[in-house]
């Protein structure tokens, strides 16, 4: 058997599959990178500051990641970047009858940082990044925004916002975690998630 003839089609197939994965992921990350702002001082004035949900502690207070996002949003607000802060996340009643409400928890935290409640918009249907960006435009009337999320998640977020019609830049916050496996998983999962974001554009989802 001529092993070269067997290997060549397999190598071509493997190469094509690799490109089909790598090219969309690279595109999503590159588009997002162009909208990243390294410092608060680099952010131009926008219609709104958008904070994406990131889970709550058992006592209902923001998780470590979410607290970092809200802290950055408060800094952006204080800098005069925008007069409106959209706090977007999940809200529902648990099976035991208790309430899970990310936007309300974010509100309580950011008010404690000096942001007036009158400046806040609570979006309780921000179930994913795309939904948040679409609702910022269609429900809350924002056309420009600065989005706050963890740095590893920022580029895909900004790509998704652009596709949703929101002209957004972004500020990334720390993703340090006491659990190395969690840190690694969050970074690795961005690869298939970026591919999925590119695929949505192709199929028009």
User: 97-146 pLDDT, tens per residue?
Assistant: 889 999 999 999 999 999 999 999 999 999 999 999 999 999 999 999 99
Whether the pLDDT of residue 189 is over 90: the answer is no
Q: Which two tokens stand for residue 189?
A: 């999962």
More confident residue, 144 or 187: 144
Q: What's the half-sphere exposure (Cβ side, CA atoms, 13 Å) at 10?
A: 5
Whether the pLDDT of residue 198 is over 90: the answer is no
Whether the pLDDT of residue 15 is over 70: the answer is no
Whether the pLDDT of residue 6 is over 60: the answer is no
User: Residue holding tokens 């060549």?
Assistant: 8
Q: With the C-alpha atoms ordered 24, 29, 30, 32, is the resulting torsion angle positive or negative? A: positive
Query: What value does the mean pLDDT of the chain take?
Result: 84
Indicate the domain borders of the chain: 35-200
More confident residue, 35 or 202: 35
Confidence band, pLDDT 50/70/90 cuts, at residue 192: low
Please tell me the predicted confidence (pLDDT) of residue 184. 64
* Spatial distance between the Cα atoms of 164 and 149, rounded to a whole number of angstroms: 17
For 47-81, write each residue's pLDDT tens digit: 999 999 999 999 999 999 999 999 999 999 999 99
Domain 35-200 has CATH 3.30.300.30: no
Non-local (6+) Cβ contacts of 5 within 8 A are: none
């Amino acid at each position: 058997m001529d092993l070269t003839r067997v290997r060549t089609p397999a190598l071509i197939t493997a190469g094509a599959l690799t490109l089909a994965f790598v090219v969309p992921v690279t595109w999503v990350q590159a588009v997002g990178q162009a909208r990243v702002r390294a410092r608060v001082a680099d952010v131009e004035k926008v219609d709104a500051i958008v904070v994406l949900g990131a889970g709550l502690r058992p006592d209902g207070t923001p998780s470590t990641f979410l607290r970092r996002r809200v802290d950055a949003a408060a800094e952006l607000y204080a800098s005069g970047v925008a007069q409106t802060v959209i706090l977007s996340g999940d809200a529902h009643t648990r099976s035991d009858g208790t309430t899970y409400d990310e936007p309300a928890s974010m509100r309580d935290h950011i008010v404690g940082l000096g942001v007036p409640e009158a400046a806040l918009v609570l979006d309780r249907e921000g179930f994913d990044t795309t939904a948040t960006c679409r609702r910022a435009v269609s429900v809350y009337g924002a056309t420009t925004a600065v989005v706050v999320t963890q740095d590893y998640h920022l580029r895909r977020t900004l790509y998704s916002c652009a596709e949703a019609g929101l002209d957004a830049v972004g500020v990334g916050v720390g993703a340090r975690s006491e659990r190395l496996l969690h840190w690694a998983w969050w970074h690795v999962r961005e690869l298939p998630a970026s591919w999925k974001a590119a695929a949505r554009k192709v199929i028009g989802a």
